[in-house]
Structure 1
Amino acid sequence: MPIDKLTQAYNLIDQANAEDPNKEQIGNEFVAKELIYGKRMTDTLANFEPNASECLKLAARSQHICRWKIPRGNYPLDRIGYLKWREELKKFHAKKASEILETAGYSSEIIDRVAFLIQKKKLKKDEDTQTLEDVICLVFLNFYYPEFLIKHTDEKVIDILQKTWHKMSDKGHQMALQLSYSEKALELIKKAIS
């Protein structure tokens, strides 16, 4: 039986992300970081918005596609450098995803919409862009916040949490408060949103 287009696209995105030289330990094995990230995005989206459009599903899976190819260290370590890096990444991810979706046989309308979402255009105005941002924030809080917490000062963590919270919708906030956190992690979230 031939596989459907969405599955084919996921497979191609996963193949690209499996080349990530950066690994994360999951159980007893080391897995490419961006491969894990893509799957976490898909799972979180399915939980957060079960009726997500195909474009949104594709954008979520390819959100960080081949991210390691544009390292943060290539840009100045100040705020301007960070913003420039983020801007370049959005364009890069959109281009890379578009190439893969073309290979999978998607129409230009779908490809353009996925690129639009990956670049987070019209945040707070476009429902799918907002949902994608909520999912990105939820994946951060659920999987990456505990490690982030250890590496940074409370002030820095609170600042990042406030920025994260600001990008999310009310529905995103509700879901974020249902995640399980350590005592310290929850305490900083409460401080950030008070």
Structure 2
Amino acid sequence: MTTAFEHTLAAIDALHAQDPRSTTLDDGSSMPQELAYAQRMSRWLAHVYDAPSELLCLAVRAQHLQRWQVPRDEYDKGRVGYLTWRRDQGKRAGETTAQLMQEAGYATEDAERVAAMIGKKGLGRDQEVQALEDCACLVFLENYFADFSRKVEHGHMVRIVQKTWRKMSPRAHELALSLPMSDSSAALVKEALGEA
């Protein structure tokens, strides 16, 4: 018999698997983009947080839940549009995850706690929310940073790295600095951190 945690995790991953976009993994196989992102988030959690709770594991796994359904370009360009889109996505992912949890038998307060973590409520004060943010930053740096930096103007990219760095914990900083990076990516990080 599956537990409420296993049931919810399977339901989250089933929604991730509906992402029509695919990504190629290191072994050459393909996977729905959102499912690959979610698995990467879960892998990093073991490195940034000792003995994570079930609730934190679910929040980390569901952080981008069904994000493909509302594309970024449906919002205004610029920082305000981006932040509004991201906030709305977090709210929607949190509400959907909370519903899946309650259907699996979790208490309302547990479902609300996970929704709050996904919405990053308490970032900077709440250790579990910080762990989720650390995972997101590390997934970005490890998997998306190099491609992203080729599409964004250099000065803007330096500011993005600086903002990302400020959101991370000291433990996540150590992990980030140990990531393998191309010479150009490493140089960009060094410049952003004032080590150029």
Class of the TM-score when normalised by the shorter of the 2 chains: over 0.9
User: Which digits, 9 at most, give the CA deviation of each residue in 1:145-194, with x for residues without a partner?
Assistant: 12112222221221110110011111111111111111111111111111
Worse-matched range after superposition: 25-34 or 91-100: 25-34
Q: Residue 14 of structure 1 aligns to which amino acid in structure 2?
A: D
Q: Which structure 2 residues correspond to residues 1-194 of structure 1 after superposition, within 5 A? A: 2-26=1-25, 27-194=27-194
Q: CA deviation at 1:28?
A: 3.6
Distance in 1, Cα, partners of 2:28 & 2:178: 28
Give SS of 2:133's match.
helix
Worse-matched range after superposition: 97-106 or 133-142: 97-106
Distance in 2, Cα, partners of 1:79 & 1:144: 19
List gaps (5 residues or longer) in structure 1: none
Q: What count of residue pairs does the alignment treat as equivalent?
A: 193
The TM-score with structure 2 as length reference comes to: 0.94
Distance in 1, Cα, partners of 2:134 & 2:28: 30
Q: CA deviation at 1:53?
A: 1.3
Give SS of 1:24's match.
strand
Q: Residue 21 of structure 1 aligns to which amino acid in structure 2?
A: P
Distance in 2, Cα, partners of 1:152 & 1:134: 22
The percent identity for this pair of structures is 37
Distance in 2, Cα, partners of 1:105 & 1:91: 21
Q: CA RMSD in A?
A: 1.2
Q: Residue 129 of structure 1 aligns to which amino acid in structure 2?
A: V
Distance in 2, Cα, partners of 1:158 & 1:11: 38
Q: CA deviation at 1:99?
A: 1.3
The TM-score with structure 1 as length reference comes to: 0.95
Distance in 1, Cα, partners of 2:15 & 2:51: 26
Q: Residue 21 of structure 2 aligns to which amino acid in structure 1?
A: N
Give SS of 1:168's match.
coil
Q: Residue 149 of structure 1 aligns to which amino acid in structure 2?
A: S
User: Which digits, 9 at most, give the CA deviation of each residue in 1:65-102, with x for residues without a partner?
Assistant: 00011111111112221121111111111111111111
List gaps (5 residues or longer) in structure 2: none
Distance in 1, Cα, partners of 2:4 & 2:179: 32
User: Which digits, 9 at most, give the CA deviation of each residue in 1:24-83, with x for residues without a partner?
Assistant: 112343311111111111111022224111111010000000001111111111222112
